[in-house]
């Protein structure tokens, strides 16, 4: 019964999504505005996802570096250097994603 319920909901979802796909008008202006709106929405959501996950990554790098320096204070200099390099790599990926957003829009 549980599998039947999943099949019914999946079929219903496919049917509803296909109605929206087939409802698009034939005008070129409508299509172009829809594409530009989808580009803006996708770029905004994508960059927001990248920035959020990079923030989580930077927090984890900082916490692990602090934990490593607390466990071994003699190696805190090398841990700090590696942390700064890791943070720079994460930030460069975010800036690259921002560049992709600007190029696409």
Taken in order 18, 21, 25, 27, the sign of the CA dihedral is: negative
The pTM (predicted TM-score) of the whole model is 0.63
Q: What are the pLDDT digits (tens) for 31-76?
A: 777 888 888 888 888 899 999 999 999 999 999 999 999 998 898 8
Please, which pLDDT band fits residue 26 given cuts at 50, 70 and 90? low
Quick one: pLDDT at residue 16?
77
Quick one: pLDDT at residue 21?
64
Quick one: pLDDT at residue 49?
92
Tell the residue number behind the tokens 């049917």, with chain if given. 15
Mean local confidence (pLDDT), 19-26: 62
Tell the residue number behind the tokens 């602090």, with chain if given. 66
What span, in angstroms and rounded, lies between the C-alpha atoms of 32 and 45?
Answer: 20
Residue 8's alpha-carbon distances to 2, 3, 98, in angstroms, are: 10, 9, 41
Per the prediction, the chain carries an average pLDDT of: 85
């Amino acid at each position: 019964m549980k599998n039947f319920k999943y099949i019914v909901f999946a079929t219903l979802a496919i049917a509803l999504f296909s109605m929206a796909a087939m409802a698009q008008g034939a005008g070129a202006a409508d299509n172009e505005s829809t594409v530009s709106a989808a580009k803006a929405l996708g770029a905004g959501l994508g960059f927001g996802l990248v920035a959020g996950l990079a923030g989580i990554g930077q927090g984890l790098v900082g916490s692990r570096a602090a934990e490593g320096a607390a466990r071994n204070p003699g190696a805190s200099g090398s841990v700090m250097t590696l942390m700064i390099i890791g943070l720079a790599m994460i930030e460069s990926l975010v800036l690259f994603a921002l560049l992709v957003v600007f190029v696409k829009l």
